[in-house]
């Protein structure tokens, strides 16, 4: 929920809409596009990719918490200067992870209660902060609106496709009494997006608002840990957990190494680079191997080709999101869509030829 802050600063309300509309639609559409049986087959077939989605999301939060604390928290009362205050964000990140581990193993019947309490606390923080600052936000920002036009297709691509690798979404679909619950979720999420806008241009936040951010992070990390714990296969589980903690260590060290100088600017650069997972790596996997339509075969050859395509596209994302050459972002997206379309057309042709061969054989 820091991307709206960046987009508001760069492009004003138009930047926020480019973030919020596909985000809400992507969340809500999940419950209407999939049926529980289809979701179950998807989870079984793409379990490894969904593990990686959870691992990266947890590592992402472990980076984000120290960065957010350094950006929005003022001097810590009773601590003063020195190393303890400098590493206070890291201490909070470790505390959040420890709390999330505890929450992740709680009985399933408690999770709806936890969700209600988390959201109620979030609303209380919004009320305490107030919506007044929303009136001070302009429609235009610091950057040329043309950059946003080039970025928007990539943003839409990420938010519409990423939910299908999120195992917490699949669990919600399996356990919800109605698919309309996803529409409720999308609208509820939209309220918190507006809350982000309300404090986007502040230099310091109240303890209640900081508690809201940390509470949401705790719940999100716990939900993804819960999915990792319940994934079948102990050897795979522990292997992925080892990678997870390695990624967490890298996320934390990357922030610590950039803490000198303009820490906020350096932190934003790392933040935007993390988003390559959600704007390129994961949605490209969904496009190619999950659908829509008839997906590509999940073979070693196709996975290697997908990996090569991602590696070739990453420099364009670096130039587009970090260095302001946003027109370059359209190139990898167009390439992926053409690849998917051409592959689907070839598979349909092969299927048609196979059917014709069967008919010819029956005729003989």
Neighbouring residues of 207: CB distance < 8 A, sequence distance ≥ 6: none
Q: Is residue 66 part of a domain?
A: yes
Residue 314 lies in a domain: no
Q: How many domains does the chain have?
A: 1
Has residue 165 been placed in a domain? yes
Looking at the domain assignment, is residue 293 inside a domain? no
Q: What is the pLDDT along the chain (364 residues), one digit of tens a residue?
A: 788 989 999 999 999 999 999 999 999 999 999 998 999 999 999 988 998 899 899 888 888 888 888 777 765 555 555 556 667 777 888 889 889 999 999 998 999 999 999 999 999 999 999 999 999 999 988 888 899 999 999 999 999 999 999 999 999 999 888 888 999 998 999 999 999 999 988 877 888 988 999 999 999 999 999 998 887 654 565 666 666 676 666 666 656 644 554 556 667 888 888 899 999 999 999 999 997 778 888 888 999 999 999 999 999 999 998 888 999 999 999 999 998 888 765 554 444 344 334 445 455 5
Kindly state the tokens that stand for 275.
């988003």
Give me the domain span that covers residue 74.
3-262
Asked whether residue 167 is assigned to any structural domain, the reply reads: yes
What is the DSSP-derived secondary structure letter of residue 11? H
Question: Per the structure block, which two tokens stand in for 68?
Answer: 């957010």
- Give residues with Cβ within 8 angstroms of 241, minimum separation 6: 228
Tokens standing for residue 76: 């810590």
In a domain, 303, yes or no: no
Q: Two tokens at 183?
A: 């529409």
- Which is nearest to 268 in space by CA: 85, 14, 68, 92? 68
Residue 338 resides in a domain: no
Does 142 fall in a domain? yes
Q: What is the 3-state secondary structure (H, E, C) of 322-346?
A: HCCCHHHHHHHHHHHHHHHHHHHHH
């Amino acid at each position: 929920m820091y991307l709206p802050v960046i987009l508001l600063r760069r492009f004003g309300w138009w930047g926020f809409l480019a973030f919020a509309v596909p985000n809400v639609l992507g969340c809500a559409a999940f419950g209407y596009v999939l049926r529980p049986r289809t979701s179950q087959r998807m989870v079984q077939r793409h379990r490894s990719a969904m593990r990686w989605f959870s691992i990266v999301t947890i590592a992402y939060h472990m980076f984000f918490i120290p960065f957010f604390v350094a950006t929005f928290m003022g001097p810590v009362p009773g601590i003063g200067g020195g190393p303890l205050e400098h590493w206070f964000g890291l201490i909070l990140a470790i505390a959040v992870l420890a709390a999330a581990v505890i929450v992740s193993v709680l009985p399933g019947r408690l999770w709806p209660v936890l969700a209600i309490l988390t959201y109620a606390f979030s609303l209380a923080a919004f009320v305490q902060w107030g919506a007044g600052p929303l009136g001070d936000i302009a429609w235009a920002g610091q950057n040329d609106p043309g950059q946003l036009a080039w970025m928007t297709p990539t943003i839409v691509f990420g938010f519409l496709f990423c939910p299908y690798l999120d195992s917490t979404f699949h669990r919600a679909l399996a356990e919800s009494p109605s698919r309309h619950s996803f529409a409720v979720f999308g609208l509820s999420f939209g309220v918190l997006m507006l809350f982000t806008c309300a404090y986007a241009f502040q230099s310091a936040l109240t303890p209640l608002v900081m508690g809201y951010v940390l509470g949401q992070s705790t719940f999100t990390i716990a939900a993804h840990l819960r999915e990792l714990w319940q994934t079948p296969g102990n050897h795979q589980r522990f292997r992925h957990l080892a990678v997870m903690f390695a990624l967490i260590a890298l996320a934390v060290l990357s922030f610590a190494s950039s803490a000198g100088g303009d820490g906020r600017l350096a932190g934003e650069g790392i933040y935007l680079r993390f988003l390559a997972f959600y704007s390129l790596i994961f949605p490209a996997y969904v496009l190619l191997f999950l659908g829509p339509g008839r997906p590509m075969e999940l073979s070693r050859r196709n996975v290697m080709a997908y990996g090569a395509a991602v590696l070739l596209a990453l420099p364009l994302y670096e130039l587009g999101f970090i260095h302001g050459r946003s027109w370059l972002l359209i190139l990898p997206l167009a390439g992926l869509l053409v690849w998917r379309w051409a592959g689907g057309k070839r598979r349909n042709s092969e299927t048609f030829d196979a059917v014709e061969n069967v008919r010819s054989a029956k005729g003989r």
